[in-house]
Amino acid sequence: MKDINIEHWIERMKEGDPSAFQVIYEWSFPEIYRSVVFLMTEKNEIEDVMNEIYFQLWRSIDNYDANRPFRFWMHGIVLKQIQKWRTKSWRRFRIFEKKQLLEVEEHIFSDRHVLEAEAHQEMLTLVHQLSYKLRTVIILRYYHDYTFDEIAELLAIPVGTVKSRHHAALGSFASLTHLMSRERRKNFMSIEQQLRDKLQDCAEAMEIPSEMQERIQESSYKRYRNDKYKAKSNLKVRMVACVLAIILFMPVVLYTGPAVAAQIRALLNLSGTEDLRSFVTKDEDSNYITTILYADEISGNKTAQELLARIYRGFPETKDFEIANAQITKGINGGKQIHLFNVILIEKGKTFEEPHKEVVANIDVETGQIQFVQTIGLEPFAPHASKLQDSESIAMAGAFLKQLDVRSDGYQPEVVGTHADKVQGNGQSIVIYKRIEDGKKMFQVNLQDGSTSVAFFSSEKP
């Protein structure tokens, strides 16, 4: 690979700059393609695997650790996707399409120098005669120049296993006398040096299929954009649930009220919301704008920093969480003026589609009053909420409020619901807090299997 300022382009890529995708793709494609050709024996499957490699590379770029070499991280993705292909977990092209592609792109080596091409094809055949485990060690060692320790880390196996596979692979090559030729006897070249030289020559002689390269770039980037849009849509739905909690307040009603579907449609603005930074929601009694905040805007927003500090104090492990989404919602909602900061924190390196820990919260920007907080997978939570005794529910709710620095003295807790929720498929226990002096309901804690939340009925601070 030619040297480029890869960190610069990675940052641009994370910001969504399409030109950065193209730069990284064109820079990395030749080496990734050659690696896949070396490691795979079925060339009609190469495009499938390359497509998946780049989709996963784009999809995982936010998790790249800048303290590690990018090539090392990238080769980890290559090995993982080839292994997935080997387990036959996915196959994407139809047989007819594959047949057409093979008719167009049959050759791996350029035929400009026929004799050299034949020699390189012979070398590739020798590599493919090794078992996959031995072949992988040889390619990582002599084509990519990784140490035994680095190979062990990439393959997630002990160093001793790497060395034994390496020794076995060299033995296989040594038995092929045409590799251990008079050239070696004349120049006293070790088999290791011969392998390194011949693999490099073989790789350089490979013809990079331009049409395949264009298809993979277009296809993988399109899949990535669709996947990212889908993720944003999921975040939007989660924010809707957060706002609905403020509108409806009662979780029991939230799941069963007949007006919920209509309110969700209005809040989602399904009449044509695009994947934009800001979107407007309008209906008969609502007209508000929701704006997604950038990282620098979050760090410069006093309300956001106060809410995050409060969450970090109550749940210290969330300091390492990522901000998956942050929004400001401002305008009229349900006939009432609102100005809210909404945020979702998620366990670093996780996605919403897999088990994870999460915090959803919003706060009134004008008053500084928390409106809603929900934690998932964070203590305290009830593994079987519907089985809690009233005293246990109150104790757990009190602990949750204490972690959020919400005062509960002066309020009378009352358990109003402990049951298995048929709609959500989990158990829950609801604790209402009433002001002692007048019996007014002020806020409630909802204990569910694996998650805990609090919603405030009034803008008055408890």
Residue predicted with more confidence, 40 or 276: 40
The stretch 382-402 carries a mean pLDDT of 88
Q: Is residue 235 part of a domain?
A: no
pLDDT at residue 272 tops 50: no
pLDDT at res. 423: 39
Residue predicted with more confidence, 240 or 352: 352
Specify whether the backbone of 439 is left (phi greater than 0), alpha (psi in -120 to 50) or beta: left
Question: Are 298 and 349 members of one domain?
Answer: yes
Per-residue pLDDT tens digits for 24-44: 889 999 999 999 999 988 878
The structural domain count of the chain equals 2
Q: Is residue 109 part of a domain?
A: yes
Q: Rounded CA gap, 455 and 371, in Å?
A: 6
**CB 288 within 8 Å of CB 281:** yes
| Residue given tokens 């890869």 in the structure block | 6
CATH value at residue 15: 1.10.1740.10
Q: Is residue 233 part of a domain?
A: no
HSE-CB of 19 using CA atoms within 13 angstroms: 2
Question: Are 171 and 300 members of one domain?
Answer: no
- DSSP states along 269-290: TTTT--S-SEEEEEETTEEEEE
Question: Are 194 and 264 members of one domain?
Answer: no
Burial class (CB in 10 A: 0-12, 13-18, 19+), 405: exposed
Specify whether the backbone of 269 is left (phi greater than 0), alpha (psi in -120 to 50) or beta: left
Question: Are 327 and 182 members of one domain?
Answer: no
Q: Is residue 1 part of a domain?
A: no
pLDDT at res. 254: 34
Structure token pair of residue 247: 């509108």
pLDDT at residue 146 tops 90: yes
pLDDT at res. 96: 39
pLDDT at res. 117: 53
Taking Cα atoms as reference points, which of 211, 218, 169, 161 lies closest to residue 191? 169
Q: Is residue 373 part of a domain?
A: yes
Question: Are 140 and 269 members of one domain?
Answer: no
pLDDT at residue 46 tops 60: yes
Question: Are 265 and 172 members of one domain?
Answer: no
pLDDT at residue 78 tops 90: yes
Question: Are 299 and 167 members of one domain?
Answer: no
The stretch 97-119 carries a mean pLDDT of 44
Q: What is the pTM of this model?
A: 0.48
Domain hosting 335: range is 247-456
Q: Is residue 461 part of a domain?
A: no
* pLDDT band of 162, cuts 50, 70, 90: very high
Question: For 290, phi and psi rounded to 5 degrees?
Answer: -110, 125
The stretch 179-208 carries a mean pLDDT of 68
> Chain-centre distance of CA 308, in angstroms?
22
Per-residue pLDDT tens digits for 410-442: 999 999 865 554 434 456 888 999 999 998 989
Q: Is residue 84 part of a domain?
A: yes
Per-chain mean pLDDT for the chain? 76
Helix (H, G, I), strand (E, B) or coil at 347: coil
